[in-house]
Amino acid sequence: MRKMVIDHDDADDLTQEVFIKIHKYIDGFREDSQLFTWIYRIATNECLSHLNKKKKRFFLSLEDVGEQLSAKLDSSMDIDGDEIQKRLQKAILKLPDKQRLVFNMKYFDDLPYEAIADITKTSVGALKASFHHAVKKIESFLAE
């Protein structure tokens, strides 16, 4: 969640919301998928919902939200890493939300495409294309 929303406080709040939802809806878990997938889907939806609310609340474009999150990367004491890691994170922030989500799941969490497909309710082919486009955009940004 932190990789998606960047802000430490927002990630903490969202984590609490996810655990509340898990507790509230655990009886409705149908075991169609793994528990991990179900929880990850809840967390993913919370992150995407949070980012959309932030855009609407402040009438921000995707680029403006990316700029705000990028500024948080530079100023936050909670974010570790050298310049290369921060540059990679800034490149990832330039991606559309869903591409960023797929990239984070595949690159950082090393999830197989099938698990990502279950979580995002997207086809494996679309995920592979999305990851490929994300990688190309990141490479382009880092080459600048």
Q: Please report the pLDDT score of residue 59 as a whole number.
A: 60
The arithmetic mean of pLDDT across residues 99-119, rounded, is: 94
Q: What is the mean pLDDT of residues 34-51?
A: 92
Model confidence at 97, in pLDDT bands (50, 70, 90)?
Answer: confident
Q: What is the CATH number of the domain that holds 80?
A: 1.10.10.10
Average pLDDT, integer, range 26-31: 90
What does the alpha-carbon distance between residue 20 and residue 121 come to, in Å, rounded to a whole number? 23
Q: Which pLDDT does position 84 carry in this prediction?
A: 78
Would you state the pLDDT for residue 106? 96
Mean pLDDT of 92-96: 90
Pick the more confident residue, 64 or 135.
Answer: 135
Mean pLDDT along residues 10-15: 94
Mean pLDDT for 47-65 is 72
Residue 23, pLDDT score: 96
C-alpha 58/C-alpha 51 separation (Å) is 11
**Does 24 score more than 90 pLDDT?**
yes
Q: Which of 24-28, 47-51, 68-72, 81-85 has the lowest mean pLDDT?
A: 68-72
Expressed as residue numbers, the domain containing 37 is 2-143
CA distances from 34 to 41, 61, 128 (A): 11, 35, 22
Whole-number Å distance between alpha carbons of 138 and 56 = 26
What is the tally of structural domains in the chain? 1
- DSSP letters for 89-136: HHHHHTS-HHHHHHHIIIIIS---HHHHHHHHT--HHHHHHHHHHHHH
